[in-house]
Amino acid sequence: MNVDHPPRITSSHAPASSIGTTVLATLAVIVALWWGRSFLIPLTAGLMLAMLVFPVAMRLERWLHSRIAGATLTLALVIAAIGLGATAFGDQLARVAGRAPDMISLVAQQVSDTSPGTDSLLQRARVSFHQLDRAADRLASAQPLVLTARGKAIAARKAELAASAAAAAAPQINLTQSATVALRDSAVSGSSALLKLAGDLTIVFFIAFFVLAGGPPLAERFLRLWDERPGLRLRAEHAALECVRQIRIYSGVLLVTNTVVGLAVWAAFALAGLPDAAGWGITAALLHVVPYLGMATLTALGAAETYLAYGTVGAALGMAGFLVLLSMLVGTVVTAWLQGRAAKMNAAAVFIGVVFWGALWGVWGLLLGPALVVLLKVVAEHTRPGQHLAHLMQG
């Protein structure tokens, strides 16, 4: 007897268990990246540095007939370049800090020249805060307050007298002491950050040195991990070469955009008549290495320098607005577009990736994020499970 079986229903959608496993695996990777950032950040930066300067190290090795000497001299040149950049930025920062007392005196003079009228913004804000305090006290006591107009006036007068007495009895705020404490805390936190940065850079350069000292034999041993499947080894070799190529493209894009930002800031400061416009241009090019945060620092320093030169808040805001616009135009739009074109990536994917890595690894994430996004696309292109992600990031 023939039994009719119901037709089998096929679905093109992935099963819920597969989607759940993918989501959990992605979350596990993100947690691992955040938890192991103390090790992964120097490792990633060291490998990228080695891939970037590898051609220089190989050329110096041929000249010096020593791989160790070539790697050492290459990294010494990189350290010298970083030292010169740090010196240039430190000089500009010291100039602004040295003129900070002049800026404080200028602000104090402008505040003292302001007419203390009874209807000024500060007076009205003070009255509003007093009224808010009285309302909060009434709610805290949970007692209904029903007063006539005369009673309200008397209660308000009593509250004002009580507030005046409390203000007189309270210790006076000493701005000098507050500023001293703030500077001391900033110095301590800044010293800790510099020590941590020095430690991270030391590890980065050691990793880069040992990778460069290993040379081509180290890369060959790495590729032998996929010898069991010739097709997989070929894809791994192509992915490695493409990663090196993309790192160099990213460095070229960074060099072009930093040069544009430096020249634009140089021209703007020169037109504004500010001192040491060339030094500010070099500082802008250096700070632009760190996306967003570097230009935010430059905006604050440039606004302070303009305020010291002109003595008006309008001039400082005008310079800050120009630097913010320059950062948005060149630092965000042009950089993402150039890198997207060079790596054949969607500019939105580059921007979102930088935000992701910045949230995960902080300043190091902002610095390494653009290159990491491109490397992720390269790896996804050369693996079967990552084809969908590579297609999503395609420009």
Exposed (0-12), middle (13-18) or buried (19+): which is 106, by Cβ within 10 Å? middle
Pick from 49, 42, 33, 35: nearest CA to 356 = 33
How many residues are listed for the chain in this entry? 395
Please give the C-alpha separations between residue 79 and each of 201, 206, 249, 251, 343, in angstroms, as whole numbers: 10, 12, 21, 17, 28
pLDDT value, residue 137? 66
317-361 per-position pLDDT tens digit:
888 899 888 877 876 667 667 766 666 777 777 778 888 888 898
In eight-state DSSP terms, residue 345 is B
Dihedrals phi, psi of 218, to nearest 5 degrees: -65, -40
* pLDDT at 163 exceeding the cut of 70: no
What is the residue whose two structure tokens read 């416009």?
A: 277
- In single-letter form, the type of residue at position 33 comes to L
- Say what the pTM is: 0.67
Dihedrals phi, psi of 345, to nearest 5 degrees: -120, 155
Least confident of 21-30, 177-186, 304-313: 177-186
Pick from 69, 58, 60: nearest CA to 216 = 58
Within 65-113, residue ranges assigned H as helices are: 67-98, 100-113
Alpha-carbon 260 to chain mean position: 19
* pLDDT at 211 exceeding the cut of 50: yes
Pick from 209, 207, 357: nearest CA to 290 = 357
